[in-house]
Amino acid sequence: MKVAVVGATGLVGTRMLEVLAEQKFPVSELIPVASEKSVGRKVPFGGREWTVVSADEAIALKPQLALFSAGGGTSEQLAPRFAAVGCRVVDNSSFWRMDPSKKLVVPEINGDVLGPDDMIIANPNCSTIQMVLPLAPLHKAYRIKRIVVSTYQSVTGAGYRAINQMNAERRGETPAEMKFPWTIDQNILPHIDSFLENGYTKEEMKMVNETRKILGDDSIRITATTVRVPVQGGHSESINLEFEKPFELEEARALMAAMPGVTVQDDPEHNVYPMPLYAWGKDDVFVGRIRRDESVENGLNMWCVSDNIRKGAATNAVQIALKLLEKGLIA
């Protein structure tokens, strides 16, 4: 089928192409789309090179599927235009996620909600995806009352400019362009996305609102603190849960281990626990340091790590496309 990748030259777009190839997605014609300055560039895929085209050219080619990773403004303008020519859009920006008419999908959790009318499908925030995957079976079994999450997010989540800034700082050079308001190397920034009137950042509120939508439960109380760390790998999260029902620790561990896409790495005696350096390049979400929270009834702590560019973005988008294929919604 004809598959467009909008934002094909960006960090996530490049990874989308890799995952499409790895998953042997049936691409007969790739339509790479990028900004005007990148039109005419060559993008390797499937053993050949494809020429980057403009959005107008891509729409005229009427692809069956478009994977978007080009920012909210681009998605707002272009996703409806692609959809209007019969193209199903999987959008990685935040623009459509909380639209009540759009599905917000992590395929292992709620892929079955996809139907014929879903022309624009939202890919959740990277930090949300890796948190909800191990939490979904726990919520089903014990019902989560409250989540307290603190994230330790890689610079890769902020794109090429962020990586370049950190690497320049590590070399002792002045960055050509500053992605962050402060030095990131040897530093930690408790600031991801812009601040809101309530004192939280947009990133923090994404985790609150998206988690409720994906798990289908607006009653869950959630508070988040999102932090940028000088790591060029995956995102890490410290997650504290309070359940309505009592639980057995081994059962909770087994429920997470049985969840597709989750790997339990939890043997502290032998220093086995998830780390971003070793999650990088993998599609699973890794959980460990699983233990009771002894300060509250029915409380659980865990440490969660995932490659934010793969499962947190590109892989989840391609998995949504595979679900559409499986359900006969694209062909």
Place of tokens 């932090």: 227
Within a domain: 138? yes
Note the pLDDT tens digit of each residue in 49-71: 999 999 999 999 999 999 999 99
Domain presence at residue 331: no
Residue 311: is its pLDDT beyond 90?
yes
Same domain, 193 and 281: yes
68 burial type by CB count under 10 A (0-12 exposed, 13-18 middle, 19+ buried): buried
pLDDT tens digits for range 106-154: 999 999 999 999 999 999 999 999 999 999 999 999 999 999 999 999 9
Q: How many domains does the chain have?
A: 2
224 in the same domain as 110: no
| pLDDT tens digits, one per residue of 238-261 | 999 999 999 999 999 999 999 999
Q: Are residues 199 and 270 in the same domain?
A: yes
Name the β-bridge partners of 236.
Answer: 152, 305
Residue 233 has pLDDT above 90, yes or no: no
Same-domain check for residues 304 and 319 = no
**Which amino acids are annotated catalytic?**
126, 235
Residue 87 pLDDT greater than 90, yes or no: yes
Residue 114 and residue 180 in one domain: no
Beta bridge partners, 29, equal 2
Same-domain status, 23 and 169:
no
CATH, residue 181: 3.30.360.10
Residue given tokens 């019902």 in the structure block: 143
CATH code at position 17: 3.40.50.720
Residue 274 has pLDDT above 90, yes or no: yes
Range of the domain at 47: 2-124+313-326
**Could you tell me if 221 and 320 lie in one domain?**
no
Q: Quick check: 105 pLDDT over 90?
A: yes
Sign of CA dihedral 134, 201, 126, 185: negative
Q: Please check whether residue 151 lies inside any domain of the structure.
A: yes
The closest alpha carbon to 78, from 58, 103, 50, 99, belongs to: 58
C-alpha separations of 73 from 96, 142, 238 in Å: 11, 39, 31
Model pTM above 0.85: yes
